[in-house]
Amino acid sequence: MRVTTSFPLGTLRDTPSEADIISHKLLLRGGYIRRINSGIYAYMPIMLRVIEKISKIIEDELNNNGCTKLLLPQLHPADLWKRSERWEAYTAGEGIMFNLKDRQGKEFGLGPTHEEVITIIASEIINSYKQLPQCFYQIQTKFRDEIRPRFGLMRSREFIMKDGYSFHSSKEDLALFYEKMGKAYEKIFKNCGLQAVGVEADSGAIGGASSKEFMVTADAGEDSILFTESGSYAANIEKAVSIPSEPVELETYRSELLETPNQKTVFDICKKNNLDPSQIIKVVIFLAKFEDKTNLPILACIRGDQQINEVKLFNLINLKHSSSLINLDIIENKSIVEKNLVDFPLGFIGPDIDNKNIKVNSNWNKKWFRIVDNSAKNLSTFISGGNKINFHKVFKKYSFEEEEFLTADIRNAKQGDKINAESNEVLKEKRGIEIGHIFQLGQKYSAKLNAKFSDKDGKLKNLWMGCYGIGVTRIAQAAIEQNYDDKGICWPIQIAPFEVIIIPTNFKDPLQMELSNEIYNNFKDNNIDILLDDRDERAGVKFKDAELIGIPFQIIIGRDSINKEIEFISRSNKSKIKIASNKLLETFISETKAMY
RNA sequence: CGGGGCGUGGCGCAGCUUGGUAGCGCGGGUGCUUUGGGAGCACUAGGUCGCAGGUUCGAAUCCUGUCGCCCCGACCA
């Protein structure tokens, strides 16, 4: 490609004010993307080359693993999503699915993910165990009406994703394939030149048994991951399990009641009363809203030095209730409290709050669903809310069991925690960007959409399913987050838009022009992705642009053209060598070979 | 949805407090000079000041409403 005739660069000298994190700034400055609306971006020619390279790497590896590429519709009939019982959760309230009606008033959604569609298709074409296993994938634009799109392509409303779905005749076969996909994913990310780690994860709204996320570690990441130094354990914070530190023993207080004026937070109480957070049990109130319109008030207790993990709590409540859980909100809004609760001293609630506090005419269930975290259940002497404004209470020999508490792990693991009772290994924490996620879905979708096959024994059975996603556009941005310097992007060569750029310092010089063209054609003939910056610009401008857009190698054609010599520069390690032009191709090939 | 900020040429911003008909840097175009690290000089094109209404002789500026975007949070995968 030549810059003047076929590949305008569109770099910017100033960063548009919308960008916050480095990768987003560099994408905009480098002319890779243009914002059209909140969370909606145009991929410019140079960006598309990156996307295509990433796609190719993914395709090659998946095809090697026996997967088959197809392309599914983006407009999904609501009916299909109602059958899987996801329409409500995905469209109502804070749902993330864009939805619309056609001219006849029929409802549709823009595909955020494709389990329904693929399951229907699989059910039509798969009849027998002899056709299994089978894995279909596509690389396509997905639509999600994110509550808060941010960081450019990191969390956008339109993004490119590879999504794959596998079908199996048994749970065991699914598990095997899931492992195989995990390996394939590791290879894909490595082939993209990324450092990624696999972590145990919550399966979220997609559902299913087991799931694993692949994370690129970067400070700008939106997720927290916890792991041991040895690599023996790694999990997303939503899923991570650990042993909490030992609590500090509470000396017996003389009085039962503790006056705590305006001390609503654990921090305040500790500071004013010389206590340790682990001697307190905090009580957090939630309201669970279910699909069948049930409103269940939740009372969650946890040790004061620990944090409630709302994902774990959500999953637990969902599991314990027959209808599916749609929303789980902390109750802190005064008007909601006044409407549904009576004499309710918010901020001073204890685990023993009475069910009578729920108003008779409220549309909530009239009994608290009480949950206590493992960290708190063994404390029998502790301080908690006194159920009276400005008072806390000393609980002595309190028994959670007597109050029908459900004991569970609803706690965030944290840095410094032990991973289990036997081990001395301790958790560390880092930020991560989720670039891939694999799930064992099981039979959730096949059961709801009636996707069956004939097994060996002649019986009709539900298909076993797995699903596997990779954020293609997110990979591109994550790669920048991992590879940049003060001058711009430093693409891993595997996904760089071009492998090498020719920079003639003065293209009007016939000698330079001739040599540039000669090298350009030679490289092109050898299938090397090469860009020729044939602009009539000053050398400095071209150097800056080449660095900004992050091409891994530069060929500088300058003064030494007369001797058929050029300079060969590596973007990432900044090495610079002078070399005869007839040796350039072989040098380039040997230099880059090791990088792939 | 709550909190904060911002909408002025392609990009970055000033002007608004105290109303008088829009300016700077970068970028674009033309010419001359320059030519290995975002050049210099000269000329030049380009803006219904987010939108609507109001106050006023007169509004980018004041008032009301509205839309949009960005950031933090809630939330979400």
Is there a domain that residue A391 lies in? yes
Same domain, A293 and A442: no
User: Is the pLDDT at A206 greater than 60, yes or no?
Assistant: no
Is there a domain that residue A551 lies in? yes
Share of chain A above pLDDT 70, in %: 98
pLDDT at A583: 96
Tens digits of residue pLDDT in A1-23:
999 989 999 999 988 888 889 99
The distance (Å) linking the CA of A129 with the C1' of B75 is: 42
pLDDT at A94: 64
pLDDT at A166: 97
Q: Tell me which residues from 207 to 236 on chain A have a beta carbon below 7 angstroms from nucleic acid strand B.
A: 213, 223, 236
Same domain, A121 and A222: yes
pLDDT at A208: 59
A151 strand B contact, CB < 7 Å: yes
Same domain, A154 and A211: yes
User: Is the pLDDT at A204 greater than 80, yes or no?
Assistant: no
Residue nearest to nucleotide B2 (CA to C1'): A333
- CATH number, position A313: 3.90.960.10
Same domain, A194 and A284: no
Q: Tell me which residues from 561 to 580 on chain A have a beta carbon below 7 angstroms from nucleic acid strand B.
A: 567
Is there a domain that residue A424 lies in? no
A107 strand B contact, CB < 7 Å: no
Is there a domain that residue A171 lies in? yes
Cβ proximity of A242 and A418 under 8 Å:
yes
- In the block, tokens 């310097």 appear at A485
Burial class (CB in 10 A: 0-12, 13-18, 19+), A73: exposed
- In the block, tokens 């399966």 appear at A203
- In the block, tokens 């979708």 appear at A445
Is there a domain that residue A20 lies in? no
User: Is the pLDDT at A330 greater than 90, yes or no?
Assistant: no
Tens digits of residue pLDDT in A575-594:
999 999 999 999 999 999 98
Same domain, A155 and A60: yes
pLDDT at A450: 95
pLDDT at A501: 97
> Would you state the structure tokens that stand for residue A76, as one six-digit string?
């999904």
A543 strand B contact, CB < 7 Å: yes
Tens digits of residue pLDDT in A12-55:
998 888 888 999 999 999 999 998 888 999 999 999 999 999 99
Confidence of residue A134 (pLDDT cuts 50, 70, 90): very high
User: Is the pLDDT at A567 greater than 90, yes or no?
Assistant: yes
Domain end (from A66, A87, A107): A107
Confidence of residue A337 (pLDDT cuts 50, 70, 90): confident
Same domain, A463 and A387: no
The distance (Å) linking the CA of A384 with the C1' of B57 is: 70
The distance (Å) linking the CA of A35 with the C1' of B56 is: 40
Cβ-based neighbours of A445, under 8 Å, separated by 6 or more: A84, A115, A116, A119, A451, A465
Stronger pLDDT, A292 or A355, i.e. the higher one: A355
- CATH number, position A59: 3.30.930.10
Nucleotide nearest to A434 (CA to C1'): B77
pLDDT at A93: 62
Nucleotide nearest to A38 (CA to C1'): B69
pLDDT at A564: 95
**Hey, is A73 helix, strand or coil?**
coil
User: Is the pLDDT at A565 greater than 70, yes or no?
Assistant: yes
Label residues A171-185 b or e (16+ Cβ within 10 Å = b): eebbbebbebbbebb
Is there a domain that residue A34 lies in? no
Same domain, A135 and A193: yes
Q: Give mean pLDDT, residues A509-533.
A: 96
A446 strand B contact, CB < 7 Å: no
Query: CA angle at residue A112 from A110 to A115, to 5 degrees?
Result: 105
Q: Tell me which residues from 301 to 360 on chain A have a beta carbon below 7 angstroms from nucleic acid strand B.
A: 310-311, 327-330
Query: CA angle at residue A82 from A78 to A86, to 5 degrees?
Result: 100
Weakest mean pLDDT among A119-128, A412-421, A548-557 = A412-421
Is there a domain that residue A252 lies in? no
User: Is the pLDDT at A441 greater than 80, yes or no?
Assistant: yes
Q: Output the average pLDDT for chain A.
A: 91
Is there a domain that residue A396 lies in? yes
ipTM value, please give it: 0.93
Same domain, A404 and A264: yes
Q: Tell me which residues from 457 to 476 on chain A have a beta carbon below 7 angstroms from nucleic acid strand B.
A: none
Tens digits of residue pLDDT in A467-500:
999 999 999 999 999 999 999 999 999 999 999 9
> Would you state the structure tokens that stand for residue A507, as one six-digit string?
């293209």
Same domain, A279 and A181: no
- CATH number, position A555: 3.40.50.800
The distance (Å) linking the CA of A65 with the C1' of B72 is: 44
Strand B bases with any atom < 7 A from protein Cβ: 1, 11-13, 25-27, 34-39, 68-77
Cβ proximity of A15 and A25 under 8 Å:
yes
Task: Annotate A370-412 with DSSP letters as a single string.
Answer: EEEEHHHHT--SEEEEEEETTEEEEE-S--TGGGTPEEE--B-
Q: What is the span of the domain harbouring residue A163?
A: 52-74+111-241+430-480
User: Is the pLDDT at A205 greater than 70, yes or no?
Assistant: no
Tens digits of residue pLDDT in A191-202:
999 999 999 887
Number of domains observed in the structure of chain A:
4
User: Is the pLDDT at A274 greater than 90, yes or no?
Assistant: no
pLDDT at A207: 55
Confidence of residue A448 (pLDDT cuts 50, 70, 90): very high
Same domain, A273 and A403: yes
Tens digits of residue pLDDT in A355-380:
999 988 888 899 999 999 999 888 88
pLDDT at A231: 87
The distance (Å) linking the CA of A39 with the C1' of B24 is: 32
The distance (Å) linking the CA of A304 with the C1' of B64 is: 49
A4 strand B contact, CB < 7 Å: no
Which of A38, A126, A113, A16 has its CA nearest to residue A72?
A: A113
Same domain, A443 and A554: no
Q: Give mean pLDDT, residues A206-214.
A: 75
Same domain, A146 and A273: no
